[in-house]
Amino acid sequence: MGVPSDEVVQIRHAAAAAGDPAVVTVSCPNKTGLGCDLCRVVLLFGLSVVKGDMSTDGRWCYIVLWVLPRRGRPGPVPLLQLCPVAAPFGFDTADLAAAGLQDAPPPAPRLFLLKLYCFDRMGLLHDVTRVLCELEFTIRRVKVSTTPDGTVLDLFFITDARELLHTKSRREEAYDKLESVLGDSLASREIDPATEDMLTCLQACPSLTPAVMEQMFNTDLIEEQSITTRGDNAISVTTDNSLSSVHTLIQIQCGDHKGLLYDIMRTVKDCNIQISYGRFYATQNRRCDVDLFVVQSDGKKILDQQRQRSLCCRLRMELLRSLRVALVNRGPDTELLVANPVEVSGKGRPLVFYDITLALKNLQKRIFLAEIGRHVVEDREWEVYRVHFGEEHDLSAALQSKIVGGVTSMLMGWD
């Protein structure tokens, strides 16, 4: 692989015309799921990958991504934090672990409760969400309720990427940012460490009814909805064992969407497949070609035909509709549901709540109630976002279609 650079992450901005992609290179020791973790951060910082190459010899990994901004800008620090540190004196991480010298994994980030009392207005929840994202807070759970007099209580369970929220200065920074954006809409704000009782409440959320699960997770319905929503969604996923004596080639041809490379890497990681070499290219007509030379966790090719079919079907479904969006009736109310798949590591796709609230703000839809919870469906964990629209119980079929289409387009980057 050659001698690694002193800088694990390098970003080179193209000197040509504006609009040309920046080049992000990552050179670091390999680890399971590294590509998935890097793609999650790229997605978090609002970047679109137009081209990518990655290779590894099993110990060292080299990744090059050509990226364009969707919003925000790339930064080397978040990527750097994901990369393993090179072991000294020629030892690899396995050697250090066997000797008891490997650093312990970092502790789970501390959880805090942000409590906001606000006066309701159009787009309020999205404005709060945008501030939290800009502050590098991760939203773990949300409970939002609106009283008849128009007062809103927002409860955000959050973690801080900087791990400084226990300090007065960091909390004051958050308060100042919230006050500057919300203005007179903000009545009071408070950030406190989450207690054990709060953590217990955090796990409690309404169950999904069989009808809702059928609507959101039935693969046949998802196929029909995707054909109706997009006409350019032809997806081809194939495997080939004839081109390499040691690797299985996975070839993917599909339409582009926001987070496409993350969805592929997440699925491969969840299926316990290791990538030795990968290549990604997005054309100007929003079509993508992906080649992945992979092995199983035992280092061998994927020879079992049933496993090949299972992997191809899983990839195809994740690319067809990685996020599930539906409007359902909950008694007299209409409820928007968005399901976000959770990785085996416990993490999910970032900025989903941001995109949902932005889409509803653009559609001029007020949010009466909102919450985030986790559910297990057929041995897979999903993060489910629930949104109620309040008094507008009877939404016409055209308006329902507009809401589902608007939210889906925002999540998939089709807007």
- 1-87 and 112-224+322-412, same CATH topology: yes
For residue 46 the two structure tokens come to: 């609002």
CA gap 181, 132 in Å, rounded: 11
Percent share of the chain, pLDDT over 90: 53
Please state the separation of Cα 161 from the chain's center in Å. 15
* Ramachandran assignment for 92, one of left (phi > 0), alpha (psi -120 to 50 degrees), beta (any other): beta
User: Band of the pLDDT at 395, cuts 50, 70, 90?
Assistant: confident
As a whole number, mean pLDDT of residues 93-119 equals 68
Residue 74: per-residue pLDDT: 39
Q: Where are the domains of the chain?
A: 1-87, 112-224+322-412, 235-319
CA gap 415, 412 in Å, rounded: 8
pLDDT at residue 4 tops 50: no
pTM: 0.87
Topology adopted by domain 1-87? Alpha-Beta Plaits (3.30.70)
Q: Does domain 112-224+322-412 have CATH number 3.30.565.10?
A: no
Residue 225: per-residue pLDDT: 62
Q: Which of 37, 28, 61 is nearest to 265 (CA)?
A: 37
DSSP 207: P
**Could you report the per-residue pLDDT of 199-250, keeping only the tens digit for each?**
676 666 778 888 888 888 887 767 666 655 555 568 999 999 999 999 999 9
Residue 392: per-residue pLDDT: 57
Residue 228: per-residue pLDDT: 54
CA distances for 121 relative to 55, 125, 185, 364, 368, angstroms: 50, 9, 8, 10, 11
CA gap 101, 170 in Å, rounded: 34
Residues 6+ apart with CB under 8 A from 272: 296, 297
Q: Does domain 235-319 have CATH number 3.30.70.260?
A: yes
**Could you report the per-residue pLDDT of 313-339, keeping only the tens digit for each?**
999 999 998 999 999 887 777 899 999
Residue 45: per-residue pLDDT: 83
Q: What is the mean pLDDT of the chain?
A: 84
CA gap 242, 253 in Å, rounded: 19
CA gap 355, 270 in Å, rounded: 24
Residue 234: per-residue pLDDT: 86
